[in-house]
Amino acid sequence: MPTGFGGGGLASVTTDSTLTGAGTSSSHLGVKGWPLTTHPCSRAAVAITLGGANQVYITGFSLGYELTFSNIATYGDAGDGVGFYDLGVYTKAGALVANIGATHLPSGTPQHQAILQAPLTLAPGDYAFAFTGNAVVATIRADNQWATWIDNSNVATSSAGVLPASIGALTPTPGITAFYFVLY
């Protein structure tokens, strides 16, 4: 089953759950009673490049259910086999709870990376997906027509391409750009 894509997705479906929708772009698949926000890909994808080395960019997402995951997947338009990059998840209080550590991101392919804290279970709530690097070559694909509870770039600084343990409490600043990512 797909999990935690952007701001919504299916974690696990338990016995006697009722699925809704046909699983198509015009009829999204969901679980009846779950407060999920789904959004079709608008095909307005943009490649997000860090504005400077060791800047931390984030996208807010909300979970309406408990989610256990061990990996983060993204899609990179441009890769970097020299610089180091980190992807991760912060709580609304700004604490890093999951990350992949300093890693090279290959070019133009889906990126499937194990988190250092695997497996990790997130409780329902608001979180932020984060991207940083000690270089500005690699990009992560995003959509510029997806509403998020927080949409910020350069919210903190990292070191050597590794996300900091804390970025301070996150204040809602709604935006319309969200990284494509999957927690699974």
Residue scoring higher pLDDT (107 or 5): 107
- Work out whether the CA dihedral 34, 36, 6, 172 comes out positive or negative: negative
Q: What domains sit in the chain, N to C, each tagged with a CATH number?
A: 45-183 (2.60.120)
**Is residue 94 within 8 Å of residue 116, measured between CB atoms?**
no
pLDDT per residue over 21-65, tens digit each? 666 555 555 554 443 333 444 455 778 889 999 999 999 999 999
pLDDT per residue over 100-124, tens digit each? 999 998 876 788 999 999 999 999 9
Contacts 24+ apart (CB under 8 A), 173-176: 174/147, 174/148, 174/149, 174/150, 175/60, 175/147, 175/148, 175/150, 175/151, 176/144, 176/145, 176/146, 176/147, 176/148, 176/151
pTM of the model: 0.76
% of the chain beyond a pLDDT of 90: 48
Q: What are phi and psi of 113, to 5 degrees?
A: -125, 135
Mean pLDDT for the chain overall: 81
